[in-house]
């Protein structure tokens, strides 16, 4: 077919256009939801259409060396979907299926996009340059910073706490995306020699991180900076550039002093104080209380985890095997659609055996990356690895990493690029 030929010839352009459009689609989605109150958003429509395109491409166009395993993988996913729907119909009702399948498709967006990137990048030898992530990061950061500067940004929280996420809709999702992009921003500081650019990007990043008001991006920055500093000291010492270690140590001291002065004036600090006051915590050791750890550190995710685990244990055998779905305790007094927001547990309890299917192929490639990670080749490679480690960590503590399409698109891309980057380096050694 001629259309297949055209798509095959232009698939790299299609992918890159799709990626460039992501922040703009998120902004349009937020505007439709928050201003026009339209639930059928451009993000939902566009990403559903792209998912259909992905499945069509994988089945009818792709000639990747992963084609056979991809077909088997897709077949098993569709078989699981059929069994899942049948079980929802038997244990809940026909009326529950649309809600259940909408959430299921959102969750399973990740494995489909992952295998799509895996196939296309291998077949077409597509390369995504390091600077691409810098430009994407700047777009996301500006869509938070400029609206807040103009005082037209949307609030990070509906009540109690302060902060703004600019022209985005979901605080957790934009926080995760920016967190994944932080290693590239920090890596850029080592690569680019133009001080004005570095100063602009670093200030923009810091302002936005503290402006949003959530813990995840700030803690991600701290984690990345610690690992980056350790890596920098190790390689500077290896090259006997001890003066760089001294200069970097002085910079770190000044950074801590600056942070101590600036942070108390930010929404991030105000939210920490609001949360501590709400829990009536006045001493640091009081945070170590189990209930306070759950509320302050995990935002009650451990409570939601216990509730979902209880629902899972009470479910029938078929639901334990196939998953209890997204409506817990259907048509009971304690009916709930609240997610745990810890992705691994959400996928495990809501999809049962689908958890193994979901992660089986991605984990194979992640393990290859970890197994072959004998050394860091460059600061760019270090950024890719840091981003991947953050993905795996935040999926446990923050959620919305694998289960949200707007985030899982970037997760899929980063895993595939990590694998291809390492594979190319090992091949060329």
| Alpha carbons 8 and 55: distance in angstroms, whole number | 14
In angstroms, the CA 181 to CA 209 distance is 12
CA distance 344 to 110: 13
Per-residue confidence at 71, pLDDT binned at 50, 70, 90? Answer: very high
pLDDT, residue 426, reads 47
d(CA 295, CA 45): 36
Q: How far apart are CA 147 and CA 34, in angstroms?
A: 14
Confidence of residue 281 (pLDDT cuts 50, 70, 90): confident
Backbone angles phi, psi at 342, to 5 degrees: -130, 100
214 pLDDT above the threshold of 60: yes
pLDDT in tens, 407-425: 999 999 999 999 988 767 5
**Average pLDDT along the chain:** 90
Pick the closest to residue 391 from 341, 343, 339, 340 (CA basis). 343
* pLDDT tier, 429 (very low <50, low <70, confident <90, very high otherwise): very low
Query: What is the structure's pLDDT at 377?
Result: 67
At residue 404, φ and ψ (nearest 5 deg) are: -110, 120
DSSP 301-351: HHHHHHHHHHHHHHS-HHHHHH---SSBTTTSTT-B----S-HHHHHHHHH
**pLDDT tens track for 358-392:** 999 999 999 988 877 767 767 888 899 999 999 99
Q: How far is CA 6 from CA 10, 261, 296, in A?
A: 6, 57, 53
pLDDT at position 401: 97
Lowest mean pLDDT among 124-128, 175-179, 186-190, 315-319: 186-190
Residue 154 gets which letter from DSSP?
A: P
- Residue 356: pLDDT over 70: yes
Q: Which two tokens stand for residue 302?
A: 């451990």
**Number of CB atoms found within 10 A of residue 21's CB:** 13
The residues, ordered by sequence, that sit 6+ positions from 315 with a Cβ below 8 Å of its Cβ are 91, 324
């Amino acid at each position: 077919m001629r259309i297949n030929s055209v798509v095959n010839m232009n698939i790299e352009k299609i992918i890159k256009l799709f990626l460039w459009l992501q922040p703009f689609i998120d902004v349009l989605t937020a505007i439709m939801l928050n201003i026009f109150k339209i639930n059928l958003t451009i993000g939902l429509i566009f990403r559903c259409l792209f998912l259909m395109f992905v499945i069509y491409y994988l089945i009818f166009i792709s000639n990747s060396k992963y084609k056979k395993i991809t077909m088997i993988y897709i077949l098993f996913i569709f078989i699981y979907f059929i069994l899942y729907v049948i079980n929802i119909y038997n244990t809940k009702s026909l009326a529950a299926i649309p809600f259940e399948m909408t959430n299921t498709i959102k969750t399973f967006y990740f494995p489909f996009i992952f295998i799509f990137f895996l196939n296309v990048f291998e077949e077409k030898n597509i390369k995504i340059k390091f600077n691409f992530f810098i430009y994407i990061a700047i777009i996301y950061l500006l869509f938070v910073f400029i609206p807040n500067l103009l005082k037209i940004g949307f609030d990070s929280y509906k009540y109690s706490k302060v902060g703004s996420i600019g022209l985005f809709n979901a605080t957790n999702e934009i926080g995760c995306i920016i967190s994944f992009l932080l290693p590239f921003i920090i890596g850029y500081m080592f690569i680019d020699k133009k001080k004005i650019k570095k100063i602009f990007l670093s200030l923009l990043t810091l302002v936005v991180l503290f402006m949003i008001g959530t813990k995840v991006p700030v803690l991600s920055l701290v984690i990345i900076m610690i690992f980056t500093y350790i890596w920098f000291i190790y390689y500077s010492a290896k090259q006997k550039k001890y003066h760089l270690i001294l200069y970097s140590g002085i910079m770190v001291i000044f950074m801590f002093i600056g942070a101590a002065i600036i942070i108390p004036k930010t929404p991030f600090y105000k939210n920490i104080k609001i949360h501590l006051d709400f829990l009536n915590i006045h001493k640091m050791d009081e945070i170590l209380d189990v209930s306070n750890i759950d509320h302050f550190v995990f935002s009650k995710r451990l409570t939601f985890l216990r509730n979902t685990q209880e629902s899972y244990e009470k479910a029938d055998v078929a639901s334990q095997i196939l998953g209890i779905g997204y409506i817990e305790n259907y048509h009971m007094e304690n009916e709930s659609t609240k997610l745990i927001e810890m992705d691994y547990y959400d996928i495990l309890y809501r999809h049962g055996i689908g958890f193994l299917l979901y992660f089986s192929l991605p984990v194979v490639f992640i393990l290859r990356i970890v197994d072959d990670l004998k050394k860091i080749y460059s600061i760019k490679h270090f950024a890719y690895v840091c981003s991947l480690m953050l993905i795996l960590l935040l999926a446990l503590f923050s959620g919305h990493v694998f289960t949200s399409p707007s985030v899982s698109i970037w997760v899929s891309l980063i895993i595939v690029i990590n694998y291809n980057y390492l594979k190319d380096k090992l091949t060329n050694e």
